[in-house]
Structure 1
């Protein structure tokens, strides 16, 4: 084995598939490439193709767990970051503004710069630019 493989896809569980599909379609500027019940019948997935071959999936399950909203302080996912360059961060900020998506503005640190925002289920997202 030469190196650890990169991520192939991310899948998140959402509370309202229709609303989340519309929200992510606007954010990504693209329609899903897949929208179907998984063959086991236990969940439905809607999948977007992102640059670099990465897939981003939205899931709903046929059985429900405890109702809740996302909280990064709980064990599990903290946030998802979409990589960009520091030159394009202002464009992503402007895109979020044009879509009416609240965000924390561009924040810079020694390890990179980013813009934090949340999806309809309060899942923490970020546009992140590593240091040049």
Structure 2
């Protein structure tokens, strides 16, 4: 029995009216789902090119005043895989076009990453595997 692929990721945001346009610009698409649920949250879901769903949730329960930190227990970051360093460089240019602050491409023996944060401070990363020799 093989382990299933990642079907979706959902992150909680403070304000969908801020986060949806930001993600729409980053992803270059509109949500495929935008609705209130019976479970006490509104969600907007984007379909990524690889078939993964990426959801934004805004709960009816008031959020904490604490800013997001990957050092707290819970979500550390969401990583989006890219084919190679060249594609990573293209995403760096796209983030620059959008005015999104990022940490630049960091190379390591296990691959290269480009980290940045969404409007709520949630860490996102584009990650490329190491170059083949």
What is the CA-CA distance between 1:41 and the residue it aligns to? 4.6
Q: Deviations over 1:97-127 (max 9, x none)?
A: 0000000111100010011100000000111
What is the CA-CA distance between 1:128 and the residue it aligns to? 0.2
Equivalent position of 1:114 in the other structure: 113
Q: Deviations over 1:27-84 (max 9, x none)?
A: 001111110001x151100000002210000001112242222100001111111100
Q: What stretches of structure 1 move > 6 A for 4+ residues in a row?
A: none
Query: How many residue pairs were aligned?
Result: 130
Gaps of 5+ in 1: none
Describe how 1:4-19 pairs up with structure 2 within 5 A.
4-19=3-18
Equivalent position of 1:77 in the other structure: 75
Aligned to 1:69, the other structure's residue is in SS state coil
Equivalent position of 2:59 in the other structure: 61
TM-score, normalised via structure 1 length: 0.94
